[in-house]
Amino acid sequence: MAPLKNEAGGGHGLVFIFTPSASIAGATSSNHLGLFNRTNNGNQKNHVFGIEFDVFQNQEFNDINSNHVGVDVNSLTSTYSHPAGIWNENGKDFDELKLNNAVNYQVWVDYLNPQLNVSMGVAGKKRPSKNMISVDYDLTDVLLDEMFVGFTAATGRLFQNHRILAWSFSNSNSSISELLINTNLPSFVEPKSSVFRSVRFIVGIIVSSMIVIGLGTGVYVFLAKRRLLLKKKREAMEDWELEYWPHRINYQDIESATNGFSDEFVIGIGGNGRVYKGVMMGGIQVAVKRISHENDQGITEFLAEVSSLGRLQHRNLVALRGWCKRDRGSLILVYDYMENGSLDKRVFECEDSLLLSWEERMRVLKDVAAGILYLHEGWESRVLHRDIKASNVLLDKEMNGKLGDFGLARMHGHGHQAASTTRVIGTVGYMAPEVIRTGRASAQTDVFGFGILILEVVCGRRPIEDGKVPLVDWVWGLMEKGELLSALDARLKAKGGFDSDEVERILQLGLLCAYPDLSVRPTMRQVLKLLEGEHVAYELDEEGMEVCLLDKMKSTAMWSNYLLKSSYGGHPTFEQLRDSLSSSVSLTASDIITEGR
């Protein structure tokens, strides 16, 4: 853990947790560490066990200091806590270790009912002989038969970097920690001023430098000028090439990985170039996108992907490994290889053996929603994808969905509007009405695209097909007639394995996301919670009340009642939905998650 540069104090810390759910439901940020909120902190039904590494003394949780390790059971008020540090070999002297000084530490947590041991030390050194925390605590009523293991942290007004360089877990092998590689790890400690300040050292350096410079200046200047000239001619270096991570990859390595960009290695052809499968050194499989230089759009797409996806890291975004620009006409992007291809090849016109089940389709939609939520809220700038569709969703070997193709992506600051463009950007069938009218995209534009994605994944139909009614109009017509379940993919319906109520709820969510008035669409945070089957509060500021979206969406009759009143000939507005409710489910402000962890 380390405070960001020029930020004093640091953040709140992190927690190693056992939890019955991987969902973000019921968690708030800041001092709650993305683990609990004010209403459920201390609830015995949480079934959460954690080891906290706390760097902020919070009187609310009776913290002993601002640098301690604690045992948390269903609450952030630690059952046991101890200043962070290490016992010397003699077991009598205790040296404090500062948690957020950017030093790499290793922590050992052992539990053999009821004995709980926690110790820590500098990474690369052996485990201390005496534990920092050693207590008896029976976790039988806390740990369930199946639990998720991992880490959680959160930011608020205080923030810092948290890095988990390696970790291991086993419920049977007590020596698994010995398998971790804890040496030669990257260092994140800010460099100190040079230690070579003695007069003798400085004089020696000066004399040696003068000798070397005097002897080698002529040869160096000649070779440097010649090399620089050749490099500029070959690559035409530009300023942006020095700015963006990840670093460029050697062209020869990419050429070798794709067998000279052989046609046999082609796995896809897009509007601005081909995509090849490649095998890098070490047997690492990659996807290589060679962007066409025949038009300016190809260069724009290349820069958009390097500048956006190159700096984003999320498990539901396709990872960009690197890039290469051999010359102005050879632009290459290298991604992680997705073994199961794109989503459209598993939903449209595919063999039955490749067809995704209902459970798999729902998991992919949740994955994509989580990725979009990260783009909108989880990074220092808001990222608008602007081209969300089935062919841009890729599936890894475990069939996890990952959003890719950031060629149309744009970034802008939180709280600021994206600039309008002079031409329409996007794919026909997925573009929101306001983009066509004004050329201006927003987070709600991506929500519209995700709504279309929901409908095509559930229905097994593309948004626009020759000789057929557009997908949104078709689904809306079925709902108007009370036959919404008929929109489900016929092949999926034949296989079974779905819940009719869930299908209707997801289709209604798709229609709500694709509502023509952007102010009525839900946020991606609300969408993700609805996909996870939770009730979501939508706040109506003008009346200071909250209405449960999920309850409204389940009422097909209510949607139909407002069909005649809606100026759009279809979807009702939130105000109309509100007026039709004789009663509603009210959620308190603490139940609404406004900040992610």
565 is in an annotated binding site: no
**Burial class, 128, CB count within 10 angstroms (exposed 0-12 / middle 13-18 / buried 19+):** middle
- Residue 343, C-beta contacts closer than 8 angstroms, at least 6 positions apart: 356, 364, 390, 391, 393, 394, 395, 401, 457
Please give the angle made by the CA atoms of 347, 351 and 353, to the nearest 5 degrees.
95
- Residue 546, C-beta contacts closer than 8 angstroms, at least 6 positions apart: 537, 538, 539, 540, 584, 586, 587, 592
Q: What is 232-286 written as a DSSP string?
A: HHHH---GGGGTPSSPB--HHHHHHHTTTT-GGGEEEEETTEEEEEEE-TTS-EE
Q: What is 440-474 written as a DSSP string?
A: ---HHHHHHHHHHHHHHHHHT--SS-TTS--HHHH
Which H or E run includes 306? Answer: helix 296-308
Closest CA to 326 of 295, 364, 288: 288
Max intra-chain CA distance, the chain: 92
- Cis ω for the linkage preceding 114 (within 30 of 0): yes
110 is catalytic: no
Say if residues 539 and 588 touch (Cβ distance below 8 Å).
no
Say if residues 432 and 449 touch (Cβ distance below 8 Å).
yes
- Residue 58, C-beta contacts closer than 8 angstroms, at least 6 positions apart: 31, 76
Residue of 54, 367, 387, 489 marked active site: 387
Say if residues 131 and 115 touch (Cβ distance below 8 Å).
no
Known binding-site residue numbers: 289
Residues known to be catalytic = 387
Known binding-site residue numbers for ATP: 289
